[in-house]
Amino acid sequence: MQWQAEMVRVPAPPFGEKERAEWLCERFREVGLDNPHIDELGNAIGSRSGRESGSRRVLLSAHIDTVFPPGTKIEADLKGSRLSAPGACDNGAGVAAMLAMAAALQQSGIATECDLVFVGNVGEEGEGDLRGMRHIYRDGPAARESIAAHIVLDGAGHESAVTHALGSQRYLVSITGPGGHSWTDAGRPNPIVLLSRAIERFSAVALPDIPRTTMNVGTVEGGTAINAIPERAAARFDLRSTDPEQLIRLEVELHRAVEDAVMAANHAAIHSANQGQRPEGSSVFFAIEKIGDRPAGRLPADCELMTLVEAVDRHLAIRTEMRLASTDANIPLSLGIPAVSIGGGGEGGGIHTHGEWYDARGRDLGLRRILLLVLAAAGA
Phi, psi of 215 (to 5 degrees): -140, 150
Q: Coil, strand or helix: which one is 365?
A: helix
Q: Which amino acid is at 32?
A: G
Q: How far is C-alpha 195 from the geometric centre of its chain's CA atoms?
A: 27
pLDDT tens track, the chain, 380 positions? 999 999 999 999 999 999 999 999 999 999 999 999 999 999 999 999 999 877 899 999 999 999 999 999 999 999 999 999 999 999 999 999 999 999 999 999 999 999 999 999 999 998 899 999 999 998 876 567 889 999 999 999 999 999 999 999 999 999 999 999 999 998 899 999 999 999 999 999 999 999 999 999 999 999 999 999 999 999 999 999 988 899 999 999 999 999 999 999 999 877 776 666 555 567 999 999 999 999 989 999 999 999 999 999 999 999 999 999 999 999 999 999 999 999 999 999 999 999 999 999 999 999 999 999 999 999 98
Using CA atoms, how far apart are residues 243 and 211, in angstroms rounded to an integer? 6
Using CA atoms, how far apart are residues 38 and 45, in angstroms rounded to an integer? 6
Determine the length of the chain. Answer: 380
Query: What are the boundaries of each domain within the chain?
Result: 2-166+296-378, 167-293
Q: Coil, strand or helix: which one is 334?
A: helix
Burial bucket for residue 247 (CB in 10 Å: 0-12, 13-18, 19+): buried
Using CA atoms, how far apart are residues 232 and 370, in angstroms rounded to an integer? 50
CATH of domain 2-166+296-378: 3.40.630.10
Please work out, in degrees rounded to the nearest 5, the angle formed at the alpha carbon of residue 90 by the alpha carbons of 88 and 93: 65
Please, which residues have CB within 8 angstroms of residue 49's CB and are 6 or more apart in sequence? 34, 115
Using CA atoms, how far apart are residues 191 and 195, in angstroms rounded to an integer? 6
Contact 293, 331 (CB under 8 A): no
User: Tell me: domain 167-293, CATH 3.30.70.360, correct?
Assistant: yes
Bond into 332 cis (ω within 30): no
Contact 64, 17 (CB under 8 A): yes
Q: Coil, strand or helix: which one is 288?
A: strand
Q: Which helix (H) or strand (E) holds 64?
A: none
Contact 241, 205 (CB under 8 A): no
| 167-293 shares the fold of 2-166+296-378 | no
